[in-house]
Amino acid sequence: MTVLGEVALWIALPVALWGTVVSFVGGRFRRSDLVLSGERTVYMLTLLLLVVSAGIIAAFLGNHYEYSYVANYSNRELDTYFKVSGLWAGQRGSLVFWTLLLSVFASIAVFQNRRRNREFMPYVSGTLLGLLSFLLVVLLFADVNPFERLGFTPVNGRGLNPQLQNYWMTIHPPTLYLGFTAFAVPFAFAVSALLTNRLDSRWIAITRRWILLSWFFLTNGIIFGMRWAYEELGWGGYWFWDPVENASLLPWLTATAFLHSIQIQENRGMLKVWNMGLVVTTFLLTIFATFLTRSGLIESVHSFAENLRIAYIFLGFMGGMAALSAVLIVYRLPSLRSENQFQSFLSRESAFLFNNFLLVGVTFAVAWGTLFPLITEGFFGETRNVGPPYFNSVNIPIGLMLLALMGIGPVIAWRRASRRNLLKNFTVPVLAAAGALGALAVIGVRHSMALATFTIAVFVMTIVITEFWKGTRARARIAGEGMWSALVSLVRRNRRRWGGYIVHAGVVIVFTGLAGAAFDVRMEQELAPGEAMSVRSALGTEYRLVYESLSHSRPRVAEGERENDWRWTALLTVYRDGDRVGILRPERRFYPVMEQQSTEVGIASTAFEDLYVIPKEVDLESGSERVTFEAKALPLVPWIWYGGLMVTVGALIGLWPAARVAAPAAARRRSRPGPLPAAAAG
Amino acid sequence: MTALIGGVLLAAGVALFILEPVFSGRSAAFYGGDDDFDEGAARRRVALTALRDLEYDRATGKLDEADYDALKLELSREALMHLGPDQDSGKGVETEAIRVARQLEDEIAQIRRAIREGMQCASCGHVNAIGARFCGHCGKRLATGAGAAAAASDGGAS
C-alpha cells in the first residue's frame, strides 16, 4: 500500500501538469475537449492523492520506520488514533494532507459547476491545478517527500510529541486546513474573472458561499486550537500570540473583512479593486500560514537549523502569485471602476469601510509582530521578539472598535443616515450600555479595558436583540404568523443578515469571555495528602481543594514493547462554596520514548467560570507524594466556547443552501409563482 | 511487485480517463446551463432585496418617513433600471433570477399592503410602526395588522 502511495505521488505530478496546461489552452483557444480533459484531471488527482494519503497512513499503522517521516512522528506504543493523525503531525504529511484537501475542494467546485458558469471553469480548474502542481513539485523535489527512506530500519520510531497527543489535536489541524484550502476556490474564480474580464457581480455571487465555508472552517479551527492550548499546554491560557497562532489568524482577519466588503460591492457596485485585493491577500495568507506552521521559519532564526529551502520556495511562490495577481488587477482596472460614490460619512457603507480598515489594520499589526524577529534579524543582525504586550496594546483597542461597529453597522441606514435615524436607533442601546457601565463601576470593576469591553458588549447585544425582536414582530404582523414561525420565516428569508447577527452575538460573547482574563486569580501551594488549599474567584466563589492522594500507573503492554507514557495522577476533591462538587484528576506524564514530561490539567467548569488545577511540581523519582499545585479561578472562560458555538451556528445559517423553490409546473406555464399559495391559483 | 502492478494499472486508468475526451472528441460546454447568470437580473435582485429590507426597516420604525421616501425612490429607480427586456418576453421558461425577483416583489407588496391597511391610521393618516395598537399621532385605536394582512394574503398577490 505504501509503495503504491509513493507511485501515486509520482503519477500525480505529470497528471496535474497536463491538467494545468490543457485547461488554460482549452480556455484560451476554445478547445472544449481539452477543458473536459482538464476537469477530469481534477477528479483523478483527488483519487491519486487519496491513494498517497492512504499509503502514508498504512506506513504509520504498519510501523514502517524505514520511512523517515514515520520514524520521526510515531512509535510502536502510540495509540492507533494518533497514528492515523500522523498524516498531519509533521511538515511532510501536512503538505500531502493540504494537497489532498485542495484537490477535494477543487473536485467539488468543478462538479458543482459542471453545467453552470462554464465560461469561468477552464481558468478555475487551470488555476487550481496549477496550485496542485506547485505543491506536488514541492513534495517531490524540496526534501519533503513523505516517502523518503532512511536506508535502514530503526527498531522503533521517535514517537509523537506529547503535546500533540490530545484529541483536539486530531481535530484542530484538519479543520484549519479545510479553511485554508477552501479559500483557493474563491481565489481561482477571482483569477478566472480577471482573465475572462467578467468582472460584474457574478464571481462574487458564485464564490460567496465558498468564502463563508472557508471562514466557517477557519473560525472553528482557531477555536479548536484555543481549546487545545487551554487543555493541553497547562498554563491556563488559550492564546499567546505565538507565530503559528498568528499565522492562522491573519487569513481569518482578511476573510472577515472580505465577507463584509463584498456587501458594498453587491449593493453599491463599489470597492471592486479592494475586494480583488482582499481575495488575493487572503489566499496568499492561507499559503503563508500553512508553510509558516510547518517550515519552522520563525523558530529557525534562533537556531539556523532546519532546511530553509522550503521557506524560500514558498516565499518565492507567494511573491510570484502576488505579482501576477497585481498585474492582472492593474490590467483590468478599467473594468473594476466603481459605479457609485460614498454619499455620506454616516452610512452603512462607511461603517463597512471602517470595519475593513480596522480589520486590515489588525492584520498588519499581527503580521508585523509575527515577522518582527525576522525583520530585526535581517536588518540589525539580532533577533528580537515582541511579546503579548505589544499585540495586546495594539489589538485590544482596535478589537473594541470593531466590536462597537458590530452594533452600529446593522442599524445605520445605507447611503446616508439622518440624525433622526441615528437618534431613533441608538438611544436605547446607548442608555443600556451607560447603565451597564454605571452598574459595573458601582460593584467595583476598575479594569479599564474590561469595563470598555463589557459596556460595548451590552450596547451591541441590545441592538442585536432589538433587531430580532422588531423584525419578528413586524413579520408576525405582516404575515399574520405566530411569533415562532415569524422568527423562522424572518431568518429564512434573509439568512445572511440574520445568520450574520447571530455570528455578531457570538463574537460579543467571545469578547466578554476574553475580557474575563483581566480577573484571573491564581494560587500556588505545596500540599501533602490530606492537606487543602483555597482560592477565591473574582466572581466571589470560594473554592477549596483537598488533595487526597497521588497514584502512579504504567499501562500494561505486550512483551517487548515499552509504555508510551507513565502517569502520576493526583486526586483532588473540589468544594465550591462549601459544597462538594466533584473530583479532579490532574496528571503529570512522562513519555519515556521522547524523554519528555507533560501536564494534564484538571478543569471544573460552571457556566461562569473555570477552576483550573495544574500539578506543577511532582517528584517523579523519590516517591514522595508532596505535590505543588497551582489553582486558577478563571472567570468567563466558558463563554469563549459558548460564543464560539454561537458563531458556528450563525455561520451555518448563512451557509445553509437556500431552499430552492421548486418551480411548480404552473410556473413554467408563465403563471405567477410566489410565496403565497393563493398566488398560483390567482 | 503487486504494488508496482497496481501502480501501472493506476497510471493507465488515470491516463485513459483524462485523455479520452481528446481522442473521442467528447467535450464540455463553454456556455450556459440551466440558470445562466444575467447581470441585470442580479442587480435587480439586489435592489429589490434592499427595497424589501427598507420596507422592513420602515415597518419596524428604524427609518422615518423622510428617509424612507428618499431611499425608496433611489432603490426603485435601480430596480426599474435593471428590468431587462426579457423580463416579460413570454419565453415560457422562467429563470431562477426572475423567479426570485418576483418573490421579492410580492413580499414588498405584501408589506406595503399590511402597512397601508393595518398601520396607517384610518382617521389621521399617520403611518405607525408595525406592532402599534394605537396611533402614535392622534391616539386612535388601529385596526390590527394581522387581520388586515391575512385578508391581504387571501386576496392573492397578482
Distance CA B125, CA A440 (A): 45
pLDDT of res. A1: 80
Write out the three cell numbers for A350.
462607511
Cβ–Cβ below 8 Å for B7 and A4? yes
**Dist CA A611 CA A604 (whole Å):** 5
Angle, in degrees to the nearest 10, between helices A202-232 and A184-196: 160
Q: What share of chain A is helix, strand, coil (3-state, %, to 5)?
A: 65, 10, 25
A 36-95 → B contacts, CB under 8 A: 36-37, 39-41, 44, 47-48, 51
More confident of the two residues A618 and A642 = A642
- The H or E element that residue B136 is part of is none
> How far is residue B122 CA from its own chain's centroid?
31
**Comparing B30 with A289, which gets the higher pLDDT?**
A289
pLDDT score at A475: 80
pLDDT at A436 over 80: yes
User: Has residue A658 got a pLDDT over 70?
Assistant: no
Does the structure show a pLDDT above 60 at A677? no
CB within 8 Å: B34 and A115: yes
Is residue A582 packed enough to be buried (19+ CB in 10 Å), middle (13-18) or exposed (0-12)? exposed
Inform me whether the pLDDT recorded for A672 exceeds 50: no
Question: CB-hemisphere CA count at 13 Å for A285?
Answer: 28
Closest Cα to residue A598, out of A577, A620, A574? A620
H-only helix segments in A74-183: 80-84, 91-112, 121-141, 167-182
Chain A residues within an 8 Å CB radius of B131: 470, 473-474, 477
Q: Is the ipTM of this complex over 0.85?
A: no
For residue A542, give the 3-state DSSP assignment. strand
Amino acid found at A15:
V
Q: Is A4 on the interface with B (CB under 8 A)?
A: yes
Per-residue cell: A538: 473574582
Do A8 and B64 count as a contact with CB atoms less than 8 A apart? Answer: no
pLDDT of residue B43: 74
Please give the average per-residue pLDDT across A604-612, as a whole number: 90
Position A183: which residue type?
F
Extract the C-alpha cell encoding B71: 431611499
CA of B18, closest CA in chain A: separation in Å?
Answer: 5
Using one digit for the tens of pLDDT, what is the confidence trace for A26-70? 888 888 888 899 999 999 999 999 999 999 999 999 888 889 889
- Which candidate in B5, B36, B60 is best for mutational testing of the A interface (most A CBs within 10 A)? B60
What's the whole-number mean pLDDT along residues A635-652?
93
SS3 B84: coil
- Which residues are A162's β-sheet partners? none
Residue A558: Cβ-neighbour burial (10 angstroms; 0-12, 13-18, 19+): exposed
DSSP string, A242-279: -HHHHHHHHHHHHHHHHHHHHHHHHHHS--HHHHHHHH
Distance between CA atoms of residues A647 and A122, nearest Å:
35
**Cα–Cα distance for residue pair A334/A190, rounded to 1 Å:** 16
Mutate which of A477, A501, A661, A668 to disrupt the B interface (most B C-beta within 10 Å)?
A477
Q: What is the 3-state secondary structure (H, E, C) of A352-373?
A: HHHHHHHHHHHHHHHHHHHHHH
Give B-chain residues touching A476 at CB under 8 angstroms. 146
Q: Which residues of B touch A37 (CB under 8 A)?
A: 18-22
Predicted confidence at residue A17, as pLDDT, reads 95
Question: In this complex, do B39 and A477 lie within 8 Å of one another by their Cβ atoms?
Answer: no
Residue range A486-501, pLDDT digits in tens: 888 888 888 888 899 9
Interface check A438 vs B, CB under 8 A: no
Mean pLDDT of chain A: 84
| The three cell numbers locating residue A411 | 442599524
Task: For residue B135, give how far its alpha carbon lies from the nearest alpha carbon of chain A (Å).
Answer: 16
pLDDT at position A376 over 90: no
What's the residue count for chain B?
Answer: 158
A451 burial (CB, 10 Å; 0-12 / 13-18 / 19+) is middle
Q: How near does any CA of chain B get to the CA of A36, in Å?
A: 5
Give mean pLDDT, residues A628-651: 92
B145: three-class secondary structure by DSSP: helix
pLDDT at residue A614 is higher than 60:
yes
What is the C-alpha to C-alpha distance for residues A92 and A102, in angstroms, rounded to an integer? 16
Q: How far apart are CA A243 and CA A292, in angstroms?
A: 8
pLDDT surpassing 60 at residue A386 = yes
- Predicted local confidence at residue A385, as pLDDT: 73
pTM above 0.90? Answer: no
Q: Tell which B residues from 31 to 70 touch A, by Cβ distance under 8 Å.
A: 31-37, 39, 42-43, 46, 49-50, 53, 56-57, 59-64, 66-67
CB-based contact, B134 to chain A, within 8 Å: no
CA distance B141 to chain A (A): 16
Residues in Cβ contact with A210 at an 8 Å cutoff, skipping those fewer than 6 apart: A109, A182, A183, A185, A186, A189
Residue A299 has pLDDT above 60, yes or no: no
A 10 A CB-CB count for B113 gives 18
Between A371 and A450, where is the model more confident? A450
pLDDT tens per residue, range A213-271: 999 999 999 999 899 888 888 777 888 888 888 888 999 999 999 999 888 888 777 88
Distance from CA of A521 to the nearest CA of B (A): 44
Nearest partner of A134 among A36, A53, A45, A244, judged by Cα: A45
Cβ neighbours of residue A326 under 8 Å, at least 6 residues apart? A280
pLDDT confidence of residue A663: 42
Coil vs helix vs strand at A115? coil
Return residues 77-116 of B near A (CB < 8 Å). 90, 92-94, 96, 99, 102-103, 106-107, 110-111, 114
pLDDT tens, B39-80?
677 777 778 888 887 887 777 777 777 778 877 887 888 777
Percentage above 90 pLDDT, chain A: 32
Confidence band, pLDDT 50/70/90 cuts, at residue A14: very high
Lowest mean pLDDT among A113-122, A284-293, B91-100: B91-100
Q: Name residue A536's beta-bridge partners.
A: A542
| Contact with chain A for residue B123, Cβ under 8 A | no
**Are B21 and A663 within 8 A, CB to CB?**
no
Q: Cell numbers for A326, please give them.
A: 497585481
Q: What is the pLDDT of residue B119?
A: 67
Higher pLDDT, A645 or A680: A645
Q: Would you place residue A305 in the very low, low, confident or very high pLDDT band (cuts 50, 70, 90)?
A: very low
For chain B, say whether A473 makes contact (Cβ under 8 Å). yes
User: N- to C-terminal Cα distance for chain B?
Assistant: 73
Question: In terms of pLDDT, which residue wins out, B124 or A81?
Answer: A81
pLDDT (tens digit per residue) in A522-568: 889 888 888 989 999 888 889 999 998 888 877 666 555 666 778 88
CB count in 10 Å sphere of residue A608: 14
Cβ atoms of A573 and A583 within 8 Å: the answer is: yes
The residue in chain A having the minimum alpha-carbon distance to the alpha carbon of residue B108 is A478
Cell of A147: 516517502
- Alpha-carbon distance of A638 to A516, in angstroms, equals 10
What ranges make up the beta strands (E) of chain B?
Answer: none
CB A667 to CB B99 under 8 A?
yes
How far is it, in rounded angstroms, from Cα B144 to Cα A618?
72
Query: Distance of CA A274 to CAs A103, A261, A416, A520, B112, Å?
Result: 28, 8, 22, 41, 37
Do residue B22 and residue A37 have CB atoms under 8 angstroms apart?
A: yes
